[in-house]
Amino acid sequence: MIDSAIQSGVLIITLNRPDRLNALDSHDKAALGRVWHKAQHDQAVRAVVLHGAGERAFCAGSDLKEIAATKQVATTDILASCIPGVAEDFTKPIVAALHGHVIGLGISIAMYCDFRIAAPQTRFCFPEVEHDMLSGFSAVELPALIGEAAALDIMLTGRSFDAEEAQHIGLVSSLAKDPLVEAMALATRLAALPTSAMAWSKRLLLAERRTRLNRHYALVDRARQEVGRYEQ
């Protein structure tokens, strides 16, 4: 379930399946895509905070139980829509509050946010390769974010790493005992800034990302079709 509410110009998006570590099923992915699209075009939304419900996880990635049961996965278009700024430009600032487990698709969604504030105990992992799966949109962007060597390390080994290392390599912006409180404070400040300057600054800063996504979108789709079990 994806919940959302506006507070003083800040849209608070909650990944709300704590019993499943906020893993996203096909319905959730499509719903999150609709939330991003609506937020981009809603003038009442000036900034966004994204977080996960419960104490155990921000997001444990895709719902593997659903995939195993249905033998079906989300289309590349739906996956793109649920990651901010992939299917379409998202010109409002997004702050992700991370805690607990941040796995696979959870990292992908977080890394496309503009700020990532993590609790010190947060654990990260890209386990896709171990399961004969993909994280295509992360593979396209991660080298630009943290460097090619670090991206190859964490994506090909599938190893788990902590928030301190995530901050060191540039995956996390900052650490905070209560990341949601810090995220709300930052988003509230950003929401008070002029929207036109904010939107154009994001477009210019992320212009190369948009070029990469446009250039490699078809390659991500082809990769997903050719891998035996695939997701994102």
31-71 pLDDT, tens digit per residue, is 999 999 999 999 999 999 999 999 999 999 987 777 767 76
CATH number for the domain harbouring residue 19: 3.90.226.10
Does some domain include residue 231? no
Does some domain include residue 232? no
128-140 pLDDT, tens digit per residue, is 888 778 888 999 9
Enclosing domain of residue 83: 2-226
Does some domain include residue 82? yes
3-state helix, strand, coil in the chain (%, to 5): 50, 20, 30
The confidence band for 228, taking pLDDT boundaries of 50, 70 and 90, is: low
Cα maximum dimension of the chain: 47
| Radius of gyration, alpha carbons of the chain | 16
* Overall number of domains in the chain: 1
The backbone region for 103, taken as left when phi is positive above 0, alpha when psi lies in -120 to 50, beta otherwise, is beta
Does some domain include residue 16? yes
Q: What pLDDT is attached to residue 62?
A: 87
The confidence band for 232, taking pLDDT boundaries of 50, 70 and 90, is: very low
Does some domain include residue 80? yes
**And the tokens for 217?**
């979108």
- Top pLDDT among 154 and 133 is at 154
72-126 pLDDT, tens digit per residue, is 777 899 999 999 999 999 999 999 999 999 999 999 999 999 999 999 999 999 9
- Helical H runs in the chain? 26-41, 64-70, 76-82, 105-111, 136-146, 148-157, 163-169, 179-191, 195-205, 207-226
